[in-house]
A = this chain, B = another copy of it.
Amino acid sequence: MNLHDSLTSPVSESMNFLNEIAHRYPDAISLAAGRPFEGFFDLDDVPRYLQLHRQYLMGRHGGDETAVRRTLLQYGRTKGIIHELIAEHLRVDEGITADPEHLVVTVGCQEALYLVLRALRRTERDALLAVAPCYVGVHGAAGLVDMPVLPVAESPERGIDPADLRARLAQARAEGLTPRACYLVPDFANPSGVRLDLETRRELLELAEAEDLLLLEDNPYGLFGTPGGPPTLKALDRRARVVHLGSFAKTGLPGARVGYVLADQEVAGGVLADQLAKLKSMLTVNTSPIAQSVIGGKLLANDFSLRAANTREREVYARNLSQVLDGLRERFAGEPGIGWNTPAGGFFLLLRVPFAAGDELLERCAEEFRVLWTPVHHFYADARPRPVMRLSFSHLQPEEIDEALNRLAEFIRYCIRRID
Contact = CB atoms under 8 A, between A and B. Distances in A.
Interface of A: 1-7, 11-12, 15-16, 19, 35-36, 38, 41-43, 46-47, 50-51, 54, 65, 68-70, 72-76, 78, 107-108, 110-111, 114, 118-122, 137, 140-141, 143-144, 249, 253-258, 265, 267-269, 272, 275, 278-279, 281-291, 294
A107 B38 contact: no
A122 to B, nearest CB: 5
B75 A35 contact: yes
Contacts of A74: 35-36, 38, 41, 254-255
Contact of A140 (B35, B73, B269, B282): B282
B110 A285 contact: yes
A119 B254 contact: no
A256 B76 CA distance: 11
Contact of A122 (B4, B43, B107, B290): B4
A119 B42 CA distance: 38
B283 A110 contact: yes
Q: Which 3 pairs across A and B sit closest by C-beta, in order of nearness?
A: A140-B282, A257-B288, A73-B255
A111 B255 CA distance: 18
Contact of A111 (B42, B256, B279, B284): B284
A249 B289 CA distance: 12
Contact of A69 (B12, B38, B47, B287): B38
A108 B269 CA distance: 28
Contact of A269 (B7, B122, B258, B284): B7
Nearest to A114: B283
Contact of A118 (B50, B78, B137, B144): B144
A281 B139 CA distance: 12
Contacts of A284: 107-108, 110-111, 257, 284
B16 A278 contact: yes
Nearest to A15: B281
Contacts of A267: 1, 3
B253 A120 contact: no
Contacts of A73: 38, 41, 43, 46, 253-255
A352 to B, nearest CB: 28
A278 B15 contact: yes
B140 A281 contact: yes
Contacts of A36: 74
A257 B283 contact: no
Contacts of A279: 4, 6-7, 144
B2 A122 contact: yes
Contact of A294 (B110, B258, B290): B290
Contacts of A286: 257
Contacts of A54: 43
A35 to B, nearest CB: 6
Given A121-B4, A255-B74, A255-B288, A282 B69 contact: no
Contact of A6 (B110, B137, B143, B282): B282
A337 B6 CA distance: 52
Given A3-B275, A122-B4, A282-B143, A289 B255 contact: yes
Contacts of A143: 282
Contact of A47 (B19, B47, B118, B254): B47
Contacts of A108: 284-285
A36 B73 CA distance: 10
